[in-house]
Structure 1
Amino acid sequence: MHSSATDSIAVRARGIRANVQKTQILHGVDVALPAGRWTSVVGPNGAGKSTLLKCLAGLLRHARIEGEIELLGRPLADWPARERARQLAWLGQNEAAADELPAYDIAMLGRLPHRAWMAPPSDADHAAVQAALHTTQAWDWRARPLAQLSGGERQRVLLARALAVQAPITLMDEPLANLDPPHQSDWLRTVRALVAGGATVVSVLHEISIALQADDLLIMAAGRVVHHGPCSDAATHAALEQVFEQRIQVRQIDGLWMALPRV
């Protein structure tokens, strides 16, 4: 999807300040997220992680935002809505969805940016949706309304909707909500496969040990970026421990970096 993925910037923000209901959430955030890599955004509660992700996606409504955001080197505001929706897929927290629709139709919503107005789904649309539902192991309940699914099943259908877009950039806010450990592992494999195929993934995660499996970690506190670097770097580990007040320690176990409670 990107000829020089590791050398280019997928999303860039300069001097982002966001005020929500008269409260300033972000304080002059600068960030450059590399294309073709998985970046996880972590930090304490109230750090501004979700607000930043919504700013990058152009989804933060009812807020006053200052600064510049670029998507693939082009100002975000200059992208026509449909074109932007083909480039950037979104999976948010507590997403509103039409509960009466079957899971298959929910996933098909991810193909809307690719279809002409009122046009029926094409063979390519059906193929993308089927692949996404199989990837998230949601195919077996494709005919069931969303209202009849458990929280974890619902989350996997919404992930399938995001995957069906087949966008070069995917932003996910707490994508592991309601997923049990086996399906968290499945999600991890899915993200790695996306990045291996040249895509860019940015995820806000509370699960620090899973976040450490990313390529890069963006660490936030109090509406600011305090560190941005490779997950394998000692400086990243030190910043992570510091932002969580030394309550965790980063250790390598069986070749994987993990965040463990400090006892």
Structure 2
Amino acid sequence: MECIAIDARRICAKLGNDEVLHGISLVLPRARWTSIVGPNGAGKSTLLKALAGLLPHSGTVALLGQPMAKMRGRDRARQLSWLGQNESSADDLTAYDVAMLGRLPHQAWLAPPSAADHAAVERALRATQAWDWRGRPLGQLSGGERQRVLLARALAVEAEVLLMDEPLANLDPPHQTDWLLMVRDLVASGKTVVSVLHEISFALQADELVVMDKGRVTHQGACVDAATHRALEGVFDHRIAVHHLAGQWLALPRI
């Protein structure tokens, strides 16, 4: 159990009257980066929300060996950090204040931020290269700048497990690369990262891939395995092909 970050069993979930997750069971290893991929409508974001405890579902989820349903909200918020799609924050909050929201699980009710909180926020903003505009309101930032501030908020929690849904949204190629390097540093320090990505070539840089289709997991395996590549190509109707180039696995259009 010490090697397991998340252990999910028989997860079913509905959106409205439609069941979108059909009895999913999977184990996500600790201190590793796992990417979840699949075509539109496969249930990737829904699964990530269920794993985060943000969506009603049946089945069970254990976080770092503890049943999430029995964890106090504050304890769970300290151990699991979340970055979702199209997240909104008050546009009049400064970038610094938004990042400080990530420290709320560590603060007593109505207590001012501690020196440790301020230090964690500075580390997070510097890690996402957002420190220079820490005093600017969120509403004055571009889409990419805003995304980096929201990422800093997730990092400021300093949780053991980070769940990120489309974290590369609005980021230009250099900052996508910075995100990749940051994730590798997090994993090297013992953190666990689980991401949903549309950028398949970036997803292939992870340690493990979870391939989904129609609300089910069709494959889970190492990103370097040939079986994983075949499963990935198959779920996209062989419209992409996985190639090895310059020491990396890449997904290219099959033309």
Give 5+ residue unaligned stretches, structure 1.
none
Q: CA–CA distance in 1 between the matches of 2:177 and 2:149?
A: 16
Aligned to 1:139: 131
Deviation at 1:66, TM superposition (A): 1.2
Residues 1:105 and 2:94 are matched in the alignment: no
**Identical-pair percentage:** 68
1:15 aligns with one of 10, 16, 28: 10
Structural RMSD (CA): 0.9
Aligned to 2:165: 173
1:49 aligns with one of 44, 51, 60: 44
Q: CA–CA distance in 2 between the matches of 1:139 and 1:252?
A: 36
Residues 1:78 and 2:73 are matched in the alignment: no
Query: What secondary structure does 2:230 align onto?
Result: helix
Q: CA–CA distance in 2 between the matches of 1:128 and 1:74?
A: 26
Deviation at 1:96, TM superposition (A): 1.8
Q: CA–CA distance in 1 between the matches of 2:96 and 2:58?
A: 39
2:60 aligns with one of 45, 60, 68: 68
Equivalenced residue count is 255
Query: What secondary structure does 2:110 align onto?
Result: coil
Residues 1:214 and 2:206 are matched in the alignment: yes
Aligned to 1:200: 192
Deviation at 1:73, TM superposition (A): 1.3
Query: What secondary structure does 2:174 align onto?
Result: helix
Instruction: Give 4+ residue runs of structure 1 displaced > 6 Å after superposition.
Output: none
What do the CA deviations read for 1:138-181 (whole angstroms, capped 9, x no partner)? 01110011011010000000000000000000000000000010
Deviation at 1:83, TM superposition (A): 0.6
User: TM-score under structure 2 normalisation?
Assistant: 0.99
Give 5+ residue unaligned stretches, structure 2.
none
What do the CA deviations read for 1:205-240 (whole angstroms, capped 9, x no partner)? 000000000000000000000000000000000000
User: TM-score under structure 1 normalisation?
Assistant: 0.96
Deviation at 1:98, TM superposition (A): 1.4
Q: CA–CA distance in 1 between the matches of 2:214 and 2:250?
A: 24
Q: CA–CA distance in 2 between the matches of 1:111 and 1:169?
A: 15
Q: CA–CA distance in 2 between the matches of 1:12 and 1:94?
A: 27
Query: What secondary structure does 2:171 align onto?
Result: coil
